[in-house]
Structure 1
Amino acid sequence: MKKRGILNAPLSAALATLGHTDLIMVVDAGFPIPPGANRIDLAIAENIPDLRTVLSLIADEIVVEGVVRADDVVTNNPRLDEWLQSTFDDAEFTTRTHADVLGELAHQAKVIVRTGAFEPWGNVGLFCGVDVPRWFGGEGVIAPDYYAAKL
C-alpha cells in the first residue's frame, strides 16, 4: 500500500504522465469539461473535496512553473488569488478571460481534475516545469538565463 501522497489511482497515474509545459487543470464542480478530455472526477458532494486541498496535494507531487486563472479571480475572489500566490510562490502567474478558461484553455489541458468546489472562478491551470537545480545544477552545466535565478 502507498504510504503517502495522492492515493487516488487515476489521479496519481495522470500526474506521472505530465512533462515540462504540460497543463493540468483543477476545476470546480460546475466546470464544463470538454468531451474526450482526460477527466478525473473527484467530486463527491458540495466542497468535498475542496479546491485548495486538491491543489495542495498536487503541488506536493509536481513541479509547477506557471499558474493561470481567470482575470475575475484577481478582482472578484482575491482570497483565492492570495492563496494561489502563496502556494505557488515560485511560479509565473497569468490571467485569461473566464470564457478562455472554460473554452480554449480546457481544450489544451492534458488532464482536468474536477473537485467538489463551490467557489467562484475556482478553475486553475498549472503548467508543469522542471526541478531547475536537479536538471541544471550539475558540474559543467550552464543554465539558460531564464532558469539561472532558480539555481
Structure 2
Amino acid sequence: MKKSALINSELSYVVSTLGHTDEVTICDAGLPIAEEVQRIDLALTHGVPTFLDTVKVYLSEAQIEGVILAEEFKQVSPVLHDELLTVIDNEKKATGREISVSYVSHENFKVRTQASRAVVRTGECTPYANVIFQAGVVF
C-alpha cells in the first residue's frame, strides 16, 4: 500500500505522469468539465471532500510552479481565496521554490481547463473555488 498522503489511484497516476508545465485543475462541484478531459470525481456530497483538503493532499505529491485562478474567486469568495493563497505561500516556504499566481476571467478559466491533463472534482460548494496547477520539476 502507498505510504504517502495521496491514495486515490487515478490522481496518483496523473501526478506520476506529469511533465513540466502540464496542468491539473482542482474544482468545486459545479465547474463544467469537458468530455475530452480526464475527470477524477471525488465529490461525495456537498462539502465532501473540501476544496482545500484536496489541494493540500495534491500538493503533498505534486511539485508546482504556477497557479491560475479566476478573478471572480477573490471577489466573490475572498475567505477561501485567501486561505488558498496561504496554502500556496506555505508550499513556497516548504519547497524553497517560486510559485507564480496569475488570474484570468472565469470564462477564460473554464476554457483553459480543457487543456488540463485531468480535472479533479471536489464536493466544494463555495463559488469559484477552482484552481489550475502548473507542474514544476523536482530537480
Q: CA deviation at 1:13?
A: 0.9
Q: CA deviation at 1:81?
A: 2.1
Aligned 8 A contact 1:40 1:111 in 2? yes
Aligned 8 A contact 1:6 1:57 in 2? yes
Aligned 8 A contact 2:6 2:60 in 1? no
Distance 1:3 1:109 in 2: 27
Q: Secondary structure at the match of 2:123?
A: coil
Bigger CA radius of gyration: 1
Distance 1:80 1:105 in 2: 21
Distance 2:119 2:47 in 1: 17
Distance 2:64 2:83 in 1: 15
Aligned 8 A contact 1:68 1:124 in 2? yes
1:17-32 alignment to 2 at 5 Å?
17-32=17-32
The corresponding residue for 1:61 is 61
TM value normalised by structure 2: 0.89
The corresponding residue for 2:40 is 40
The corresponding residue for 1:7 is 7
Corresponding residue to 2:126 among 107, 119, 126: 119
Aligned 8 A contact 2:69 2:109 in 1? yes
Aligned 8 A contact 1:29 1:114 in 2? yes
Q: Which amino acid aligns with 1:101?
A: F
After alignment, is 111-120 or 79-88 more displaced? Answer: 79-88
Q: CA deviation at 1:76?
A: 2.1
Aligned 8 A contact 1:64 1:88 in 2? no
Larger relative contact order, structure 1 or 2 (CA cutoff 8 Å, min sep 6): 2
Ranges in structure 1 where 5+ consecutive residues have no aligned partner: 136-151
Q: CA deviation at 1:124?
A: 0.6
TM value normalised by structure 1: 0.82
Ranges in structure 2 where 5+ consecutive residues have no aligned partner: 93-98
After superposing on structure 2, the runs of 4+ consecutive aligned residues of structure 1 that deviate more than 6 Å are none
Q: Secondary structure at the match of 2:119?
A: strand
